Structures are given as C-alpha cells and as structure tokens.
Structure 1
C-alpha cells in the first residue's frame, strides 16, 4: 500500500516531538478522516470553513462526545501549527467543555467479587489496578525491574503527564507476582535462545541501552504472546499484552457477578482512591499515590464517598415526634 507523503510528514513531526504511539495513531486517524471528509483536498488548501464543517459533522451526524471532538480538533490544530506552519484563528467552534462527572466506584466486596471471576494474569492485572491504584496502561507497562517485593513498593515509569511515581504494592500479591515473573522469564529465555530477547523500548532508547534491553530486568511483567517489529526503530522485540485482551476478560467477569454498574479498568483506580479515603488516609497521600498534579482532581473522590454530607440526615429518615 502506497503511503501518503503528507501523512508521513505529519508522522515524522509527531515523532520528533516525542508524542506517544497512541497519540500518533489517534492524530493520524483524525487527520486522515478530516482530509477524506473534505473530498481529499490538501490541508494546505483548506482552512476554517472546512474545519468547522468537519467538527459540525462529528457533533451532529456522528454524535461524538466532547472529549472525542476535542481530540479531533487537537489533531487538526497540531497539523496546521507544526506541519503546514499556519495558525488557525477565529474558529466558530472551539474546544468543548467536558462534563465533570463523578466517577463510578465499587465497594470493596464488589471489587473483590469481580477480581475473583478473573484467572491467571488477568486476575493479577485487576489486582494491581485495585491494589496499587494504577491506570491500565501503567499496569501493562510494568517491567520486572519496577517491582520491589522486599519493601512492597512499585515504580510507575512515565505515567500520565510523563510523571514518575512510587505507589503501594500489596504484600498479598507477592506470590502471584513471583509466579508471573517466572512465566515472563520462560518466554524471555525462549526468545534469547532463538536469537531475539530485546524488549520494546520508547523511541530511540535502543541506541542508548543497546543489548542491555535484552536483560531480563527490562522485560515486561505481562509480555505479549508474539514478537513484533518496533513501530519506530524497526527491531524485533516483545511488547506487553494489549489492553483489549484485558477488557474482554473484565467484561465477562462483571457479567458473571450481576453487578449493575458500568465497570471499566479505570473503575478499580477510582475504587482504590475512595477506599483509602474511607479508611482515613490523608488526601495528600492519596494524591501522591495516584500521581495527580492538582489536589482538586483528588478531591473529586470526597464527593464520591459523600464526606460533605456525612452529618446530614435525609428528611425521609427523621422520626415524627
């Protein structure tokens, strides 16, 4: 398939600015969609009118969420600013304000019930999400070197906002983690015997670390079942399992419980935060464990547990004297 020279120039600019692979795929998808929607006109020959038509189409015909519409606009603005080198001004439609929703949380019993319906590595992934307050991509990107079973801490490398942090590692998971490490070691041993063994690293780091990337400590805790070509640097490596695999297993586990809540991987992180607050953990500590830059983000969980209304009695519960 012939690659579009223009889209390849966008890709190069995204990689030069060190955006993630996920962002790269998303931006290219939206930019391609924008071009196709406007009858394959070159973006250099388009402007505000075409951008507004596309956003209007997304909002009215596609009925996308405000977050999705913002993502599309981000991609288009990036393209014009960094590739075409033209500022887009005075758009009729700007970035839409996202609804600030109170997150869905589980009780401890509900969380453990769902986790109990998962097996093997999926059970361990869900346990780490709940027990450590991780995002799903943070759990899947864990490398063997990030786990400290001696003092029960876990290192999160380049979490959201490219921030590093430490968080809790439940002692009760030590045995399961050791078993998973042994499984990862067997896969890595097979790779090295077959002349491979390199792990997937962020772009260009293979030049810095070289064959150190074959060390077992750098391998993912949850390695993929197949080897692949690195999307940036082209070497054969082993990545971590894809989050869609976990999503499928989680969906089945939730259905088995009959719990009438919309449960996603991120729900375990929300539940981790609320359980800490319910058990008296200081909100600043919760903020640090979650890796929030702004305390107001963490304070949202106080609304979830209803601490503002803890001494308020519903009129329905008042006794008639």
Structure 2
C-alpha cells in the first residue's frame, strides 16, 4: 500500500506503521476511516463525535448489511482514530445497531479437490503450497515466503 495523498490520512498511516501494525490492518483501518468521513459528508473527524460514530456503525448494519466481524473492524478503526490519533477516546457504552448476520462457514475442499488444485499449480509454487496446506498455515501466514 502506498502512502495516502491526504495529509490527515498520511499521518494516520505513518502512526500505524510506527506502532508496527500489520499492513493488512493499516489498509483495513484506513478504509473504514475514509468510509466514515465519506458517510459524514467529508467532515473532518475532529468535528464529529460519538453520535456520528454510532450512526455510521448502525448504517453499516441497516443499509450495508455487514457481518458482525466487519462491523467490529470498523468500530476498532474508529476507536483507534479517536483514542490514538485525535486523543479523544470514545465512550464504551455507545448504543448502535449491532449486526445480527450469522457468521459464514468456510468452504472446505475435499482431498481430491485439494489434490487437483495442487496439481494445477506451477511446479515452483506447488511445494510451498503443499507445505502451507500440510502444516495448516493460512495464506497470510505464508505471505513471507513470496
């Protein structure tokens, strides 16, 4: 991910890197902070408060129909923004509509499907994929081996 053009978002990006956040977390948090700003008609978060945060989190559930973990990630991004960047921690008793969407079960491949998938891979990647699969690693856990 490249550094954002906006000075405000760039400062958040730099702060998260300084705190050694994972790049995936940095990208996700910046996405939700930008979504919050767009939802608030491009107002700066300093001008916004808990009421707007609650409205945004409720909007995610009622209009966008996001999953529980997606709403939680958006909340965590805004908690980071207000606590760490703006130094104005949000109250923990916020009242917003919580997602009721049940978690989606992951798709599990059969042994023959896994075998076919591995055989379809280029040879130079197959061993890495076999090691990751055999040891139970997730994709991001094997990301260092590019």
| TM-score bracket for the superposition, by shorter chain length | 0.7 to 0.9
Shift of 1:47: 1.0
Larger Rg: 1
The size of the alignment, in residue pairs, is 142
- Residue 118 (structure 2) aligns with: 115
Higher strand share: 1
Contact 2:83 2:89 in 1 (8 A): yes
Q: Which moved more, 1:96-105 or 1:42-51?
A: 96-105
| TM-score in terms of structure 1 length | 0.40
| TM-score in terms of structure 2 length | 0.81
Higher helix share: 2
- Residue 94 (structure 2) aligns with: 91
Partners of 1:16 and 1:73 in 2: CA distance: 21
Shift of 1:73: 1.0
- Residue 109 (structure 2) aligns with: 106
- Residue 72 (structure 1) aligns with: 74
Across the aligned residues of Structure 1 and Structure 2, the Cα RMSD in angstroms comes to 2.5
For residues 167-225 of structure 1, give each alpha carbon's deviation from its aligned partner in whole angstroms, at most 9, with x where no partner exists. xxxxxxxxxxxxxxxxxxxxxxxxxxxxxxxxxxxxxxxxxxxxxxxxxxxxxxx3xxx
Alignment equivalent of 1:130, drawn from 126, 129, 133: 133
Mark the runs of 5 or more structure 2 residues left unpaired by the alignment: none
For residues 43-95 of structure 1, give each alpha carbon's deviation from its aligned partner in whole angstroms, at most 9, with x where no partner exists. 11111211122112211222222111111111011000001111211211387
Shift of 1:138: 2.2
Partners of 2:133 and 2:5 in 1: CA distance: 42
Mark the runs of 5 or more structure 1 residues left unpaired by the alignment: 143-221, 223-321
